A and B are shown apart, each in its own frame.
Chain A
Amino acid sequence: MTPLLEVSGVSKRFGGLLAVSDVSFSLGEREILGLIGPNGAGKTTLFNVVNGVSKGDKGTVKFAGEDITKCSPNQVVHLGLARTHQIVKPLQDMTVLENVTVGACFGREYLSLKPARNVALEVLERVGLAKSAEMSARSLTIAGKKRLEVARALAARPKLLLLDEVLAGLNPTEITHMIGIVRDIRDSGISVFMIEHVMQAIMSLSDRIVVLSFGQKLAEGKPEEVARDPQVIEAYLGDPDIAEKLKENN
């Protein structure tokens, strides 16, 4: 079976900094793939290259059998690849419902206004924002805005959803709720590719994990394998000796 998303040999350079260096991986249908790595490892840059916000210098990105390497973000959405932003980008002076309607209108199915509004209402129900539908996006809490990001992306009816740190800045209750939403998304048949710093969450959610460090792929595999990988531990903690000591203490 061909994978849903296939990234091969992607590099991205910003001036003298090689932000992403020769990264390859693939993601199957109904899979949750986690992307972790220390700050500045190039995770968001990799996301940007995948959905077309920035163009990679080398390598190709294939989605559902099509080469999307040169596609712009709005074309990528029509093919069924939606994303959220780490730094939330709500359409401030529009209502929550209008925000999500935009996602449905210009998403994969390119719906007209009325059906788009219905999809939006359904999605808002799903992420638990139905009560705030008529509020302006500006007045939402940070947790609300993160859910709005997910709702807008979901309204596009994607086959693959890229989630960029949807758990960051949330309190434990909100995190539990958001984890539920992500599981629900996967159960509805959508694949998920997510960046996350909340380790417990990503370890329990992901089917597989890719680890980036200084732009390079350090490891890839099941969560428990990745967690034991000495290179990964070194990348996070710096000194391999500390890692050894921690292991002994455990």
Chain B
Amino acid sequence: MILRRPVFWLILIFAALMAFIPFHANDVSMREDLILVALAVILASNLNLMIGYTGYVNFGHIVFYGLGGYVGLYLATVRNWNLVLAALAAGLVVSLFALALGMGILRLRGAYFALATIGVLLAVQSFVANFDPWGRSTGMYVDFSAYQRLGGARHALWMTYFLVIGVMALSMILSLGIKISKFGLGLFAIREDEDAAVVLGVNTTVFKAIIYSVSAFLPAVAGALMFYKNGMIDPSIAFEFMLSLEGIVMLMLGGKGTVVGAALGGGLYEKLRSYLLTSPKLSNFQLVIAGALLLLVVLFAPGGLIGWLYRLVPRARKVIE
């Protein structure tokens, strides 16, 4: 049972604190900081389902986030849908897209799959940049009056913040739920040895397609919310390859395959990045740091921070999942 896992309650407390503290202090800049942390946790946690659980490296994970943003913004502004409904519909549409796509590219393994995911990202980006209903390369804007319907811009911004925190909590709970399930066990078997998994009875084709599709859902929902909050979207910010790569750095830093590790890596990396981006001497230096970090982690602590903790305190494995 998931309710008996200490990590489940930790996730809830963590999310509640993140929602409450900036609201209580009415601190808008803290909120803007934390929403980026939450986004990093969402991206890293869902990427973890592919890389950490199933062993398939997805370089183009950000495509789900960008597509979700587009579908969500289109429904919320052009079609005048309610924001929450638009975000959920975006999640659904992008998941179905991932399911169809996964059936094809998940036949590939290892480096070939990784290359295909980059191809998908580039293909979707060029498609969107030439797609008229979505404004081609200039993208789409949220009309300011749209915020009025949510009770004014101030109210709308707080609301999207809470929703994003909610999506973050759901991402971590989803990771935990899958990790302790039979489905998760099947995924781990695929990660360790796909050929052995088939012979043991795991329907690897279906399992891989499902997890690929599941890993697309919450990032797409988050994309709809984030771009709605930002008020605009265009192909270059929606499908930013760098953010996709940074997602992998976050995951490796925290510890792939673990629920807490993905979140910890996401949070820490985002904090570090915003510090570097805003410091006058080190701005635009964050990718150098990202590269160096990834190198150090892969060489000296392949299990990331959580893997390192497991080695120091083997019993932690039972509590920190």
B200 within 8 A of partner (CB):
yes
B148 within 8 A of partner (CB):
no
Q: Contact between B201 and A156 (Cβ–Cβ < 8 Å)? A: yes
A50 to chain B, nearest CB (A): 12
A107 to B200 CA separation, bound complex (whole angstroms): 7
The CB with the most chain A CB atoms within 10 A, among B193, B197, B200, B204, is that of: B200
A89 to B194 CA separation, bound complex (whole angstroms): 10
Known: A98-B185, A112-B182. A91 touches B196 (CB 8 A): yes
Q: Total interface residues on B, using CB and 8 Å?
A: 18
Q: Contact between A103 and B192 (Cβ–Cβ < 8 Å)? A: no
A102 to B186 CA separation, bound complex (whole angstroms): 7
B188 within 8 A of partner (CB):
yes
Query: B166-204: contact bitstring with A at CB < 8 Å (1 yes, 0 no)?
Result: 000000000000000110011011001101111111111
Known: A85-B196, A102-B197. A74 touches B185 (CB 8 A): no
**Residues in B whose Cβ lies below 8 Å from that of A101:** 185
Q: Contact between A85 and B199 (Cβ–Cβ < 8 Å)? A: yes
A85 to B182 CA separation, bound complex (whole angstroms): 24
Q: Contact between A77 and B200 (Cβ–Cβ < 8 Å)? A: yes
Q: Contact between A106 and B186 (Cβ–Cβ < 8 Å)? A: yes
**Residues in A whose Cβ lies below 8 Å from that of B185:** 98, 101-102, 105, 113
- CB contact between A91 and one of B181, B189, B198, B204 (< 8 Å): that residue: B189
Q: Contact between B188 and A98 (Cβ–Cβ < 8 Å)? A: yes
Question: Size class of A's contact patch?
Answer: 20 to 34
The B contact surface, by secondary structure, is: helix
Chain A residue nearest in CB terms to B198: A73
B94 to chain A, nearest CB (A): 28
Q: Contact between A74 and B186 (Cβ–Cβ < 8 Å)? A: no
Q: Contact between B192 and A92 (Cβ–Cβ < 8 Å)? A: yes
The CB with the most chain B CB atoms within 10 A, among A72, A91, A113, A152, is that of: A91
Chain B residue nearest in CB terms to A108: B201
A18 within 8 A of partner (CB):
no
Q: Contact between B201 and A91 (Cβ–Cβ < 8 Å)? A: no
**Residues in B whose Cβ lies below 8 Å from that of A83:** 199
The CB with the most chain B CB atoms within 10 A, among A90, A98, A106, is that of: A106
A222 within 8 A of partner (CB):
no
Given contacts A91-B193, A105-B186, 16 further A-B contacts (CB under 8 A): A51-B199, A72-B198, A74-B198, A74-B199, A74-B200, A74-B203, A83-B199, A89-B195, A89-B199, A91-B197, A94-B192, A98-B188, A105-B185, A106-B202, A116-B182, A156-B201
Give the interface of B toward A (CB within 8 A). 181-182, 185-186, 188-189, 192-193, 195-204
